[in-house]
Amino acid sequence: MTAIPFAKGHGLGNDYIVLRRDDLPFDLSEASIVRICDRNWGIGSDGILMLVPSTRADFGLRIFNPDGSEAEKSGNGLRIFAKWLREHGHAKRDTFTVDTRGGVVECTCHGRGGRVGFVTVEMGRVTFRAPDIPMNGPDRDVVAVPLQLADGTTVTATAVSVGNPHCVVFVDRLDTEACKRLGPLIERHPAFPQRTNVQFARVADRRTLDILIWERGAGYTLASGSSSCGAASAAVRNGFCEPGKVTVRMPGGDLVIEVRSDWSLRLEGPVEEVYTGALSDEFAEAWLTPATP
């Protein structure tokens, strides 16, 4: 079997593996995705970014969560993917478009000496409408509504789609253990037919948010670009933050989200490639071949 190359990068500690569909002998299965992302039995990551063909944009991208499910969009993933495209010779310009399940976005790479250290992403327009998130119930803006959880806890939720679903809960104090306890209950709440990403947010001032993240399919996460977009949009929609640039602070670091008057978003943040390598034949033959009937 021909060696299967990959790269691994991170955005503020949120790490992804980048692969090319053309390098794979077969489609990735749920089991192979879980194995590759496992931090003991595989490479280890918060997900996989796979370059695929596109008729709508310069490049196509499929995003897989470490539980084997597929995500619509990822702000950190897009920055990692954009850096990889530019530095590995796929993108010939600094600005290009990427086709995701959550829509086509524009990425711009910034750096010196052939190295990309910073990427901006036009993330598209947000919506708070229940059918578009999607969220069960009447067709309405889901802003500051009560949501009762399976353990009897009731939270005040604002649901938003930035191309993928988010549920933002504003709190007076951030608590990591509460995030890990309540996050999965919100992620899998029956109100969200496709599950949801979860953010617990504390307003620091009119331009700054602190958040903790429970990511759909990945769990507790140090940072997330799309979660930052969801939280910043929800803060503006609830009147907690001013429209314009909002700094979102996470355990992994800070991102700046521009929330415009038409509810379109621009994400700005750093990115780093950690290493490149190739899957061994032993691993690839075990996990990237079809099962014996």
Answer yes or no: do 25 and 118 share one domain. yes
Answer yes or no: do 118 and 146 share one domain. no
Q: Which domain holds residue 173?
A: 127-262
Q: Each residue's pLDDT tens digit in the chain (293 positions)?
A: 678 999 999 999 999 999 999 999 888 999 999 999 999 999 999 999 999 999 999 999 999 999 999 999 999 999 999 999 999 999 999 999 999 999 999 999 999 877 999 999 999 999 999 999 999 999 999 999 999 999 999 999 999 999 999 999 999 999 999 999 999 999 999 999 999 999 999 999 999 999 999 999 999 999 999 999 999 999 999 999 999 999 999 999 999 999 999 999 999 999 999 999 999 999 988 888 775 54
- Number of domains observed in the structure of the chain: 2
For residue 135, CA distances in Å to 101, 160, 192, 213 come to 18, 9, 5, 19
Answer yes or no: do 18 and 54 share one domain. yes
Does the predicted model carry a pTM greater than 0.85? yes
**Helices (H), ranges, 73-202:** 75-87, 176-187
| Single-letter code of the amino acid located at 231 | A
Answer yes or no: do 206 and 283 share one domain. no
